Amino acid sequence: MTRLLLIRHGESQANREGFFAGQTDVPLEEKGLFQARMTADFIVSSYTADKVYASDLRRAYDTGKAVADRLGLEAIPDSRLREIYAGKWQGRKFTDIIAQYSSDYQAWLTDIGNCVCTEGESVAQLGSRVLEALTDIARANPEKTVVIATHATPIRVLQCLLGGHSLDHMKDIPWVSNASVTELTYNEGIWKLEKIGQDSHLSDLKTTFPANV
């Protein structure tokens, strides 16, 4: 059995300033760096981790690196773990997206699993690439515990797919908070969701998406 610990990155510039990052390479805020270190401490105290992978976007990579540094390991980048490619929405304020791409963004808000970002990636495409990455990582690390630093939408779509649901159900799954830890296991092709969005270690530094995301 392989155990995978999915970390959503710490609070980023996009989170702080209220714009849709997608694959725009924005940094962590100071709070996000501190959240990442707190999550590294939580993982060290709660698990015995053997390896660390991360999206190659800075906000996730630096979150993963905080854990890797704490463990004396390398953070291995994998572009398949990136956030959704959001096309015309990337780098735009949420209020601007709602005004200019109202029909497409309304689908994001009300039926995210079946959404396609305007001139960007669909959530279904995102789910396929992230699940492929996780499966490859799990198969390459049998009987190990692996940390994976990624993003909010990958974790949300994985909860849906690995929970045995169609993407129609994804709208009913809440976002996990920044620097939270979601635990999965993989055993001979079978996935199991163990713990979702562990964030009590963040105490009053917990941060979440606003209602218009």
Q: Which residues are the active-site residues?
A: 9, 83
The amino acid occupying position 144 is K
Task: Give dist(CA 15, CA 11) in Å, integer.
Answer: 6
138 close to 4: Cβ distance less than 8 angstroms: yes
**Nearest Cα residue to 204 out of 35, 59, 46:** 35
* β-bridge pairing 19-20 and 92-93: antiparallel
Task: Give dist(CA 165, CA 188) in Å, integer.
Answer: 20
DSSP conformational letter for 205: G
How many CA atoms, within 13 angstroms, populate the side-chain half-sphere of residue 8?
A: 28
Q: What is the dihedral of CA 45, 49, 55, 61, to 10 degrees?
A: 50
